Amino acid sequence: MATVEAIKFSATWCGPCKVVGKSLEGVDLKNVDIDTDVDGLTKEYNIRSVPTIVFLKDGQEVARHSGLITKSEYETKLASL
């Protein structure tokens, strides 16, 4: 079975990023948080707004979501991958 991971791109000054962080607490998924003001991955993944979540399956991008997302929307997205 393929491994699904999520990279959450956010910034410390971003209000919606904080909301997304709280709404995703308790989700069972390998998850990496990237601060767009510090990390160079922003350019590599062509991130244009925060928050953005990039979903990877076996290391390859399979989906992304920009903006606010609820825990149930996040779990539905994961189930579809």
> Which positions are annotated as active-site residues?
14, 17
Query: Angle CA(2)–CA(25)–CA(63) in degrees, nearest 5?
Result: 40
Residue whose C-alpha is closest to residue 21's, from 29, 6, 10: 10
Beta-bridge mates of residue 61? 56
